[in-house]
Amino acid sequence: MTDYLSTGSLPEEYRQLALTVRDFAQQVVAPVSAKHDADHSFPYEVVAGMADMGLFGLPFPEEFGGMGGDYFALCLALEELGKVDQSVAITLEAGVSLGAMPIYRFGNDDQRAEWLPQLTSGQALAGFGLTEPDAGSDAGGTRTTAVEDGDSWVINGSKQFITNSGTDITRLVTVTAVTGNNGGKKEISTILVPTSTPGFVAEPAYNKVGWNASDTHPLSFTDVRVPRENLLGERGRGYANFLRILDEGRIAIAALAVGAAQGCVDESVRYAGERQAFGQAIGRNQAIAFKIARMEARAHTARTAYYDAAALMLAGKPFKKQASIAKMVASEAAMDNARDATQIFGGNGFMNEYVVSRHYRDSKILEIGEGTTEVQLMLIARELGL
């Protein structure tokens, strides 16, 4: 793996992957996107198609049923899907980087053997249960508890806004829980909770502004009893381990956001060339052309930011600051481009069946999920020693 990735000269295997996923996005995803968005239905057939292509196994070794690729390959796939349908892209992002990755990174041999083949094949999904009603940006505010009782952990508490946590193929949620107290400091650990465990409930799905075809639920845990072996990673390292997962996840979210930003450019170029007003295509007006040029510049800048963060990560170098920068600029690019594209589409931009209107509703969450813009600024400032 190179420690420099250029937008102008992608290695051939990456380019081929991106083209394959682009084709899938256009042929399979795009035709059903508006319907799933309108119905708020989970796109099972699309998820099965992504599973058949091996997308859920992209960054995992073949011994765990993966494709033997890397995290950058996942990012390229997310960018292509994000152009067309953010709900589908976040389903893959959360399935891989939040669902399977914690087990790959921190699981023992038995946990990896039990869960990874199901997750990397896309036959099953796992959720990442960090956020709680009183623990969002301040995720260390976890109140959910896991108490040792004989050979078990007994979990009580709740989580909110958990992606992929209530589908028909969801089999697992990995949760952070307070497992003790070290000199007044909470000891937070992560525990694997199979969704079939009595006392685990995925409450009714949220009615969201966007990402309508993505699955998001509040979760409740009432005396949920799981074996002691379900502790994931070292006891007391749960919060730190989840933060590591989020650092990586920010690069993936940035890639998805770049897809959204680029999708808005592509749609706008097409529409501005076709739509006539005052006797000419609206794109002939410099006001429109410049707007689209600025959108392209935002998408390109954000892409270079996530390529850079991914290259550092794959080279084993520190990448925390670059991941936060990429996540912040890419999510802002997506939101800004969605707003501009909607303007270019005029009244059609306000109609739900248009891709740009979906991006307008969908992009806002990119500035919130996996760490808000303010949290990214906190992390960047901290890396600067402030």
Ligand X SMILES: Cc1cc2nc3c(=O)[nH]c(=O)nc-3n(C[C@H](O)[C@H](O)[C@H](O)COP(=O)(O)OP(=O)(O)OC[C@H]3O[C@@H](n4cnc5c(N)ncnc54)[C@H](O)[C@@H]3O)c2cc1C
Contact with ligand X (CB under 6 A) among 188, 356, 365, 366? 365
How far, in whole angstroms, is CA 295 from its chain's centroid?
Answer: 22
Q: Name the residue nearer to ligand X (CB basis): 172 or 312.
A: 172
Contact with ligand X (CB under 6 A) among 86, 144, 163, 174? 163
Q: Name the residue nearer to ligand X (CB basis): 14 or 206.
A: 206
Instruction: Say whether residue 370 binds ligand X (CB under 6 A).
Output: yes
Alpha-carbon distance 376 to 343, whole Å?
28
Phi, psi dihedrals of residue 153, rounded to the nearest 5°: -105, 135
Do 223 and 296 touch, CB atoms closer than 8 A?
Answer: no
Give the per-residue contact string, 197-216, with ligand X (x = CB under 6 A; - = no).
-----------x--x----x
Q: What amino acid positions are annotated as catalytic residues?
A: 370
Q: Name the residue nearer to ligand X (CB basis): 200 or 307.
A: 200
How far, in whole angstroms, is CA 203 from its chain's centroid?
Answer: 21
Contact with ligand X (CB under 6 A) among 130, 193, 264, 288? 130
Helices 355-362 and 320-344 pack at an angle, to 10 degrees, of 140
Please report how close the Cβ of residue 192 comes to ligand X at its closest, in angstroms: 15
Alpha-carbon distance 122 to 107, whole Å?
18
Please report how close the Cβ of residue 365 comes to ligand X at its closest, in angstroms: 5
Select the span of 129-137, 225-233, 274-282, 340-348 touching ligand X (CB under 6 A).
Answer: 129-137
Please report how close the Cβ of residue 221 comes to ligand X at its closest, in angstroms: 14
Instruction: Say whether residue 362 binds ligand X (CB under 6 A).
Output: no
Site for ligand X in 29-88 (CB under 6 A): none
Instruction: Say whether residue 161 binds ligand X (CB under 6 A).
Output: yes
Q: How far is CA 43 from CA 88, 183, 211, 371, in A?
A: 7, 47, 12, 26
Q: How far is CA 142 from CA 134, 138, 154, in A?
A: 7, 9, 16
Instruction: Say whether residue 380 binds ligand X (CB under 6 A).
Output: no
Instruction: Say whether residue 119 binds ligand X (CB under 6 A).
Output: no
Select the span of 1-9, 112-120, 127-135, 329-337 touching ligand X (CB under 6 A).
Answer: 127-135
Contact with ligand X (CB under 6 A) among 94, 219, 335, 379? 94
Q: Name the residue nearer to ligand X (CB basis): 69 or 210.
A: 210
What the block records as the tokens of 200 is 């685990």
* Ranges of H-type helices in the chain: 12-24, 30-39, 44-53, 71-84, 86-93, 101-106, 109-120, 238-274, 286-314, 320-344, 355-362, 373-383
Instruction: Say whether residue 221 binds ligand X (CB under 6 A).
Output: no
Alpha-carbon distance 94 to 260, whole Å?
17
Please report how close the Cβ of residue 115 comes to ligand X at its closest, in angstroms: 17
Select the span of 191-199, 309-317, 343-351, 372-380 touching ligand X (CB under 6 A).
Answer: 372-380
Do 35 and 95 touch, CB atoms closer than 8 A?
Answer: no
Alpha-carbon distance 342 to 347, whole Å?
8
Do 266 and 82 touch, CB atoms closer than 8 A?
Answer: no
Contact with ligand X (CB under 6 A) among 136, 180, 194, 199? 136
Please report how close the Cβ of residue 76 comes to ligand X at its closest, in angstroms: 22
Torsion of CA 99, 103, 105, 111, to 10 degrees: -170
Q: Name the residue nearer to ligand X (CB basis): 163 or 342.
A: 163
Do 159 and 175 touch, CB atoms closer than 8 A?
Answer: yes
Residue nearest to ligand X (CB): 136
Kindly list the residues in this chain that would bind ligand X in the complex (CB under 6 A): 94, 98, 127-131, 136-137, 161-163, 208, 211, 216, 365, 368-372, 374-375
